[in-house]
Structure 1
Amino acid sequence: MKKTKKLLLVFCLILVLTGIFCVTAYADPTGDVAGAIEGTWKDASAQIKTVVNKVVFPAIDLILAVFFFAKLGMAYFDYRKHGQFEWAAPAILFATLVFMLTAPLYIWSILGM
């Protein structure tokens, strides 16, 4: 019974907070919804581009670099153990890392921003 009350309280709290923080979006008085969306996108696209360039791409690059060097180390130890170096996984990770490092130079022209 106590668990049900807690769950009901959390649900009511979420419902109240949703009602408080929801903002109704109105289009222009002429009813031009597409124009309102385009205007919002024009304002937000520069911020989105900045966040993606400064946060998303570096985070992906860091993850790929860690995976690349870890896979390279594992391939080296496999080489020492078995005498055969496996190039496929490190090569794929390296190509992906290079692709992601250079992506901010051309991705925005492809997307038209």
Structure 2
Amino acid sequence: MKKNKKIAVIICMVLLLTLMFSTTAFAGGTGDVAGAIESTWTDASGQIKTVVNKVVFPAIDLILAVFFFAKLGMAYFDYRKHGQFEWAAPAILFACLVFTLTAPTYIWKILGI
């Protein structure tokens, strides 16, 4: 019984905090919801572009670079062991790395931002 009471109190507190800190969004005096969404997107698109260029693409580049060099090392050790170098995985990772390194220069033109 004590456990159920604690859970009920926690749920009530979360609900109370959610109601206290939530705000109502209106579309404006005319009720033009589409216009409100378009103006919000216009305001936020520059910030989204900056975050994607400075955070998302470098993070993806770092992950792909680590995977590329790890796979290249593993392929080299397989070559030493079996005498045959497997190019497919390192080539795919390298192509993806080049794609994501150059993506910020053209991706926004494709998306129209």
Sort the TM-score into its range (normalised by shorter chain).
Answer: over 0.9
Gaps of 5+ in 1: none
* Deviation readout 1:37-60 (Å, 9 max, x if unpaired): 111111110000000000000000
Show the counterpart of 2:70.
70
Q: Counterpart of 2:73 in structure 1: which amino acid? A: G
* Deviation readout 1:4-52 (Å, 9 max, x if unpaired): 3443333223212211221110012111111111111111100000000
Q: For 1:70-89, what aligned pairs fall within 5 Å after superposition?
A: 70-89=70-89
Show the counterpart of 1:106.
106
What is the alpha-carbon root mean square deviation over aligned residues?
1.3
Spell out structure 1 runs of 4+ moving beyond 6 A. Answer: none
- So what's the TM-score if we normalise by structure 2? 0.93
- So what's the TM-score if we normalise by structure 1? 0.93
How many residues of Structure 1 are paired with residues of Structure 2 in the alignment? 113
